[in-house]
């Protein structure tokens, strides 16, 4: 049995531990009571299959280990008969998006199989870097006072050095007057040398770690464990190539409309998108749609690499590279020119977390040619801002809150700008509240109870969303939004000079 399976078995963590949690079951009971027999029918879309499943597009936000909450959210949606036509995600959202794409047929439930994969995954194994780095990460993330302890250690080391040097100077000055102090002066001298040697070894070790960090692509962890894990899952579900991934994402059951629509079923096709940030050309890449930028034969690329690229948290993971790009080929040149107006394609592409540019790519499924939507664009937002760092008082934030605000400003601006201009999309977004101080999005050392709680929080958020979602209001808002945009885009009437 693989190591991760042994650890999961030892912990007794199974898919049923998640789905049978009383909080999750309570969510489903409330939803069935409201929308079940004798209740109000749950209507979230006008696109159905023969079994009455309702289809939506789904965008999942990035958030490290908070991806477990995304699974809780989609589990409730599936249990309520909702299925997903087009899927997109960034980082952790890309992971759940990938699994939901390749597991089972589009009309079938997938969450149980996703949970099985999570139960078999040793989260800490994802931190696959140098042992010293693993120790620091583990302590820094899991111990709230680790930073304070680290400061004390540094202060203690320097204080001991200062004390020894002071002792050397004082004792050397006194030993001529007090010969008996010569032995003590010798002891202090030896201790000072030994302590300085230890500090030198420590500095040398840290310097080597920093060199290792640079040589490995400025990433503490190579990310190989994750790559092998996701690749194995793709292969298990018969997805070995980019073409197979696209075929799996696009294969839909026969669809029908609840009500007539001018477009009929035209362009209602499935697909999948993973967002990554490319640093050489500084562009947002959408995989697999933009594979033609990197290869003439897209099946020479590994689809597991797309998810690995999307979740490459800077510094925490090494960058993901695509090498040997035929950048002199005319087709490749044209692809870069047409897509990004780049006239000099790179020979090597370097990817980091897609969340740097678009952590919540809710704009992906916007179609300006459709005024009245046939199905909604659902989005799962993750709110991990801590209570103390949500204060408007800029002087009241912690250091972590300060950097968190700065990072979130960068990674959320692009998506936030779209939502501000297209407010109708807000109706389709549900938010999972992860603001508790007990959760950290980089804590790969989650306990069994924490994983289940994250799943339950996702389920609760999905329940709250479905209870308030109004499909008809969504359509009206979308129609108004498009009408306003068309009015703004219309050329102004020339003013007569007479």
Active-site residue numbers?
Answer: 91, 353
Phi-psi region of 391 (alpha: psi -120 to 50; beta: other; left: phi over 0): beta
Instruction: Write the CA distances from 435 to 66, 135, 148, 387, 494, integer angstroms.
Output: 11, 26, 22, 7, 53
- Point out which residues pair with 377 in neighbouring strands: 57
Block residue for tokens 């101080």? 437
Cα separation, 36 vs 351, whole angstroms: 46
Classify strands 283-287 and 271-278 as parallel, antiparallel or unpaired: antiparallel
**What residue has token string 């033609």?**
292
- H or E stretch at 136: helix 131-142
For residue 158, what are its two tokens? 């320097």
Q: 364, 355, 345: which is closest to 277 by C-alpha?
A: 355
Tracing tokens 């250690």 back to the chain, one arrives at 153
DSSP secondary structure code for residue 79 in this structure: H
- Strand 377-383 relative to strand 429-433: parallel, antiparallel, unpaired? parallel
Q: Are 148 and 140 in contact (CB under 8 A)?
A: no
Report which of 261, 222, 219 is spatially closest to residue 372, judged by C-alpha positions: 261
* Greatest C-alpha distance within the chain: 111
The C-alpha atoms of residue 184 and residue 175 are separated, in whole angstroms, by 9
Q: Which two tokens stand for residue 210?
A: 């920093």
Q: How many CB atoms lie within 10 A of CB 298?
A: 19
CA distance 314 to 311: 9
Determine the Cα–Cα distance for residues 235 and 230; give it in Å rounded to an integer.
9
> b or e along 142-165 (b: 16 or more beta carbons within 10 Å of the residue's beta carbon)?
eeeeeeeeeeeeeeeeeeeeeebe
Q: In the chain, what is the straight-line distance between the N-terminal and C-terminal CA atoms, in Å?
A: 87
**Alpha-carbon radius of gyration of the chain:** 28
Contact yes or no for 322/348 (Cβ under 8 A): yes
Rounded to an integer, what is the distance from CA 374 to the centroid of its chain?
A: 28
Q: Which residues, in sequence order, are bridge partners of residue 230?
A: none
Kindly report the three-state secondary structure assignment for every residue of 462-483. HHHHHHHCCHHHHHHHHHHHHH
């Amino acid at each position: 049995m693989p190591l991760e399976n042994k650890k999961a078995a030892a912990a007794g963590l199974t898919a049923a531990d998640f789905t049978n949690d009383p909080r999750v079951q309570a969510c489903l009971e409330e939803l069935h009571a409201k929308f079940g027999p004798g209740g109000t029918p749950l209507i979230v879309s006008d696109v159905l299959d023969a079994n009455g499943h309702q289809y939506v597009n789904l965008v999942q936000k990035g958030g490290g280990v908070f991806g477990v909450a995304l699974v809780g959210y989609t589990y409730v949606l599936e249990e309520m008969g909702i299925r997903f036509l087009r899927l997109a995600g960034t980082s952790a959202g890309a992971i759940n998006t990938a699994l939901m794409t390749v597991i089972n047929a589009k009309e079938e439930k997938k969450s149980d199989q996703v949970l099985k994969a999570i139960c078999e995954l040793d989260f800490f194994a994802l931190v696959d870097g140098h042992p010293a780095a693993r120790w620091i990460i583990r302590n820094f993330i899991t111990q709230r006072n680790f930073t304070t302890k680290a400061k004390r250690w540094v202060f203690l080391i320097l204080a001991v050095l200062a004390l020894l040097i002071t002792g050397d100077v004082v004792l050397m000055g006194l030993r001529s007057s007090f010969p008996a102090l010569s032995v003590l002066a010798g002891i202090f001298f030896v201790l000072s040398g030994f302590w300085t040697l230890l500090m030198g070894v420590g500095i040398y070790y840290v310097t080597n770690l920093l060199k290792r960090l640079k040589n490995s692509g400025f990433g503490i962890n190579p990310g190989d464990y994750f790559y092998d894990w996701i690749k194995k899952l793709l292969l298990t579900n018969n997805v070995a190539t980019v073409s197979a991934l696209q075929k799996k994402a696009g294969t839909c059951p026969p669809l029908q409309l609840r009500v007539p629509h001018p477009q009929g079923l035209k362009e209602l096709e499935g697909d999948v998108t993973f967002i990554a940030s490319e640093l050489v050309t500084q562009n947002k890449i959408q995989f697999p749609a933009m594979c033609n930028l990197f290869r003439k034969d897209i099946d020479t690329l590994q689809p597991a690499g797309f998810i690995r690229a999307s979740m490459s948290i800077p510094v925490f993971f090494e960058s993901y590279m695509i090498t040997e790009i035929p950048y002199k080929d005319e087709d490749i040149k044209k692809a870069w020119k047409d897509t990004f107006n780049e006239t000099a394609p790179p020979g090597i592409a370097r990817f980091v977390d897609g969340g740097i540019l678009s952590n919540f790519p809710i704009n992906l499924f916007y179609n300006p040619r459709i005024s009245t939507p046939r199905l909604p664009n659902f989005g799962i937002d993750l709110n991990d801002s801590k209570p103390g760092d949500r204060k408007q008082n800029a002087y009241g934030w912690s250091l972590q809150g300060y950097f968190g605000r700065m990072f979130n400003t960068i990674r959320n601006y692009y998506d936030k700008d779209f939502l501000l201009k297209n407010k109708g999309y807000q109706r389709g977004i549900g938010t999972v509240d992860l603001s508790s101080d007990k959760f950290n999005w980089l804590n790969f050392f989650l306990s069994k109870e924490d994983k289940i709680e994250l799943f339950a929080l996702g389920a609760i958020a999905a329940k709250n969303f479905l209870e308030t979602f109004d499909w008809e209001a969504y359509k009206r808002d979308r129609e108004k939004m498009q009408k306003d945009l068309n009015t703004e885009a219309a050329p102004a009437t020339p003013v007569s000079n007479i």
